[in-house]
Amino acid sequence: MDLWQRTMIRLARSERVTGLMQRHGGATALARRFVVVGGPEAAAAAARRLRDRRGISASLSYLGEYVSDPVLIDRTVEASLAVSQLLGAAGLDVQVSVDPTAIGQLASPDLCRANAERIARSVASQPAAGRNFLMLDMEDLSLVEPTLRLQRDLLDQGLPAAVTLQARLRRTEGDLESVLTRAPAVRLVKGAFPRGPEDDHQGKAAIERSYLSLAQMMLSSPAREAGLHPVFATHDDGLIGRVAGVARGMGVPQDGYEFEMLYGAHREGERRLRAEGYSVRLYVPFGVAWWPYAVRRVGEHPRNALLLGRSLVRRTQTASATPRR
Ligand SMILES: Cc1cc2nc3c(=O)[nH]c(=O)nc-3n(C[C@H](O)[C@H](O)[C@H](O)COP(=O)(O)OP(=O)(O)OC[C@H]3O[C@@H](n4cnc5c(N)ncnc54)[C@H](O)[C@@H]3O)c2cc1C
């Protein structure tokens, strides 16, 4: 990880800066670019706009991960339930993404399971306008086993639980095999939690090889006949082109899979893929705890530093204009 990314992660973790920015900076360019700063209503409205104006689907995720405070856990669960109902009522497909550590995994796995069940039941009870499921995000390696177990428990109860898998991890091929003919969907990412050579494929080329070989498994006839919906989540234009090439070679039509990107991260890519007839989904984070998430996006892509600079200046101006109590 380079110095820039490490600096952004430090900024993301600073409680002081987080408090300052979230108090005054919700209207900044940085916040607006990557996050819907608001509650479930604002998030559902954003999902509707994406579908109506641009033919893009959404997966909604309430901000706030790695927490064990019961108040914060409840807040995420309630926001996820509310957004599921609002999406259903709006006739949109209902996809809610959650990090297990946002709904209680660190406090108690039983609590996490109960919360995930409530959200998955809500998703399952909405009108089926499209593909309705709860998407489990994948966090660091220590959480891979618990997350897969959680997904298995939900599937055993007949609930629509999809999972995110990380191509950088060596173990993922085995994990994918175990869910390939059971899960309603798998979202494949490169993986945001680098480990050492023992656990990870090393270097961009090796991660890409792993990604493409996993993509092939997800697009295979047994997976598709079992109902798996493949989701390829990346902003990497070269990789997107190669995945589309693999799908074409295997005779999978464009609507047999989708590409997913982070809201605000690669607008040009979204537009191009839609124009070429691909299905596109955006991962839309919403809530008020936007600073750590948005600053990590700047760390991934230094060109976003301009947004960060403008937002810090604006925040400073707002703060100095705010009367002190
Ligand atoms: C929908 C979605 C869900 C995800 N869920 C998870 C998850 O559950 N667990 C997990 O470990 N990881 C998750 N990730 C993150 C993922 O693992 C990668 O860390 C991240 O997507 C960057 O990798 P990349 O495939 O985009 O390729 P890269 O090679 O990192 O980037 C490709 C190109 O996209 C640009 N780019 C990358 N990120 C940004 C950005 N934020 N803004 C602007 N440009 C950017 C790069 O500068 C580069 O030009 C998710 C990613 C997406 C898109």
| Mean predicted confidence (pLDDT) in 274-294 | 94
Q: In terms of Cα–Cα distance, which of 7, 1, 71, 20 is closest to 291?
A: 20
Q: Is 236 a catalytic residue?
A: no
Query: What was the pLDDT predicted at 1?
Result: 58
What band does 325 get if pLDDT is binned at 50, 70 and 90? Answer: very low
For 55, the 3-state DSSP assignment is coil
Residue type at 27 in one-letter notation:
A
- The answer, yes or no, to whether any atom of ligand 1 lies below 6 A from the CB of 192, is yes
Domains assigned to the chain: 36-289 (3.20.20.220)
Tell me the average pLDDT across 296-305.
82
pLDDT, position 314: 64
Question: Which among 33, 51, 75, 187 is annotated as catalytic?
Answer: 187
Angle at 35 (CA atoms; ends 33, 40), nearest 5 degrees: 145
Report DSSP state, residue 90. T
What pLDDT score does 323 carry?
A: 38
- Evaluated on CA atoms 254, 190, 300, 37, the torsion sign reads positive
Rounded Cα gap, residues 41 and 54, in angstroms: 19
Max CA-CA distance within the chain? 66
pTM for this prediction? 0.93
Question: How far is the centre of ligand 1, averaged over its atoms, from the C-alpha of 29 (Å)?
Answer: 20
- Residues 62 and 76 sit within 8 Å (Cβ to Cβ): yes
Token pair of 265, please?
Answer: 């991260």
What atom of ligand 1 comes closest to residue 168's alpha carbon? 17
User: Residue 16: how many CB atoms within 10 A of its CB?
Assistant: 7
Q: What pLDDT digit, counting tens, does each position of 100-151 carry? A: 999 999 999 999 999 999 999 999 999 877 789 999 999 999 999 999 999 9
pLDDT single digits (tens) 185-226: 999 999 988 888 999 999 999 999 999 999 999 999 999 999
By alpha-carbon position, which residue is closest to atom 24 of ligand 1?
Answer: 234
165 C-beta neighbours (distance < 10 Å), count: 23
Higher pLDDT among residues 66 and 221, named by residue: 221
* Whether the CB of 281 sits within 6 Å of ligand 1: no
Instruction: Report residue 27's pLDDT band, with 50, 70 and 90 as the boundaries.
Output: confident
Q: Give me the mean pLDDT over the 168-177 stretch.
A: 98
| Angle in degrees, 0-180, between the axes of helices 267-275 and 237-249, rounded to the nearest 10 | 20
Catalytic member of 51, 93, 99, 137:
137
User: Cα–Cα distance between 114 and 105 in angstroms, integer?
Assistant: 10
Q: 188: burial class by Cβ within 10 Å (0-12, 13-18, 19+)?
A: buried
Instruction: Tell me which residue of 81, 24, 54, 33 sits closest to 318, measured CA to CA.
Output: 24
Task: With cut-offs at 50, 70 and 90, classify the pLDDT of residue 3.
Answer: confident
Residue recorded with tokens 């173990």: 171
Residue-wise pLDDT tens digits, 181-193: 999 999 999 998 8
Per-residue pLDDT, 321: 45
- Identify whether 137 is a catalytic site residue: yes
pLDDT above 70 (res 86): yes
Q: For residue 310, what is the DSSP state?
A: H
Q: Say which amino acid occupies 150.
A: L
What pLDDT digit, counting tens, does each position of 225-270 carry?
999 999 999 999 999 999 999 999 999 999 999 999 999 999 999 9
CA angle, 76 then 80 then 85, to 5°: 150
* Residues with Cβ within 8 Å of residue 291, at least 6 apart in sequence: 12, 17, 18, 21, 22, 25, 31
Q: What is the whole-number distance in angstroms between the Cα of residue 235 and the centre of ligand 1? A: 6
